């Protein structure tokens, strides 16, 4: 039952695939002879372009481009090449599990490059972000509710709890003792402030009918079980400014586009 705005934080899973150090080292042997050399290790050229690529990646991560960074990258590549050559000398690159890992790393690099290219050609526009923002804002409504609930497995249990509460029992104490919701029971059933759209429909429908301080007179059934719900308070809901959430919305839209793209590719593929 997480607020909807907090769920708009998905990143494209495939695009996060790590660039394999083994592939960097393996590709060094393929450098054109005319390309600038950063170093040579036992006759194997480490091209300057490899240094430039890694420096570029570090800079995009926030490190300043400097002679010290470039030297550090070059030394790292030299060490990587030395160790890789020793691994090859011992035949480790021929082991089946290593071959498999290298192939998976190669696929990850290709997937990352493909998705970067795809989203460069099909960017999520500011207009699309604004439309999604307006849609979610309308879905959230103009009020948010602070509720408590007690979740149990059967209607009979829920009715028994309602009887006890009507008799003066503490809602917070019963929630801590009886509720099956591990996320709220330790807080006396407190669900915090949320828009109704954050909850499943039967729960939301029952919640918005309550007055402050009231609880549901009858148990409410959802896919989670049976609920006794109490409304603690209501307040106006102020959606965050577009500027604060536009990056998260863009990521969400990219994720949706990615899932659609993957689905289309799978449908085209002959999978046996």
State the DSSP string of 61-97: TTPPP-HHHHHHHHHHHHHHHHHHHHHHHTTGGGSHH
Q: What is the pLDDT of residue 238?
A: 87
Q: What is the pLDDT of residue 19?
A: 35
Identify any residues that bridge with 222 across adjacent strands, giving them in sequence order: 225
Domain boundaries, the chain: 4-121, 143-236
The terminus-to-terminus CA distance of the chain in angstroms comes to 39
Element (H, E) at 47: strand 44-47
Instruction: Output phi, psi for 266, to 5 deg.
Output: -65, -35
Instruction: Output phi, psi for 149, to 5 deg.
Output: -150, 160
Q: List the pLDDT tens digit at each of the 272 positions of the chain.
A: 443 343 333 333 333 333 334 344 444 444 444 569 999 999 999 999 999 999 999 999 999 999 999 999 999 999 999 999 999 999 999 999 999 999 999 999 999 999 999 999 999 999 999 999 999 999 888 999 999 999 999 999 999 999 999 999 999 999 999 999 999 999 999 999 999 999 999 999 999 999 999 999 999 999 999 999 999 999 999 889 999 999 999 999 999 999 999 999 999 999 99
Q: What is the pLDDT of residue 35?
A: 65
Length of the chain: 272
Whole-model pTM over 0.85: no
Nearest to residue 249, comparing CAs of 4, 26, 51, 83?
Answer: 4
Q: What is the pLDDT of residue 22?
A: 39
Rounded-to-integer distance, Cα 6 and Cα 193, Å: 12
Q: Buried b vs exposed e over 119-158: b needs ≥16 C-beta within 10 Å?
A: beeeebeeeebeebbeebbeebeeebbbbbbbbbeeeebb
Query: Is 3.10.50.40 the CATH number for 143-236?
Result: yes
Q: What is the pLDDT of residue 239?
A: 86
């Amino acid at each position: 039952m997480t607020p909807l705005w907090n769920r708009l934080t998905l990143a494209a899973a495939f695009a996060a695939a790590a660039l394999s150090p083994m592939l960097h080292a393996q590709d060094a042997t393929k450098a054109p002879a005319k390309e600038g050399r950063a170093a040579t290790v036992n006759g194997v050229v480490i091209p300057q372009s490899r240094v430039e690529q890694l420096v570029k990646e570090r800079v995009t991560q926030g490190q300043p481009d400097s002679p010290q960074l470039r030297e550090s990258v070059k030394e790292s590549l030299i060490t990587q090449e030395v160790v890789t050559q020793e691994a090859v000398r011992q035949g480790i690159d021929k082991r089946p599990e290593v071959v498999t890992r290298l192939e998976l790393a190669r696929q990850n690099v290709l997937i990352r490059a493909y998705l970067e290219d795809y989203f460069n050609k099909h960017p999520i526009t500011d207009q699309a972000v604004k439309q999604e923002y307006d849609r979610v804002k309308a879905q959230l409504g103009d009020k948010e509710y602070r509720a408590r609930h007690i979740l149990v497995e059967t209607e009979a249990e829920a009715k028994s709890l309602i009887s006890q509460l009507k008799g003066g029992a503490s809602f917070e104490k019963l929630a801590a003792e009886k509720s099956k919701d591990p996320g709220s029971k330790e807080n006396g059933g407190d669900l915090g402030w949320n828009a109704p759209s954050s909850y499943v429909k039967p729960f939301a429908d029952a919640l918005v009918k309550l007055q402050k301080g009231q609880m549901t007179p009858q148990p409410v059934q959802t896919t989670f079980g049976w609920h006794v719900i109490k409304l603690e308070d209501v307040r106006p809901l102020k959606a965050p400014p577009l500027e604060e959430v536009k990056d998260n919305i863009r990521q969400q839209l990219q994720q949706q586009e990615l899932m659609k793209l993957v689905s289309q590719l799978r449908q085209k593929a002959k999978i046996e």
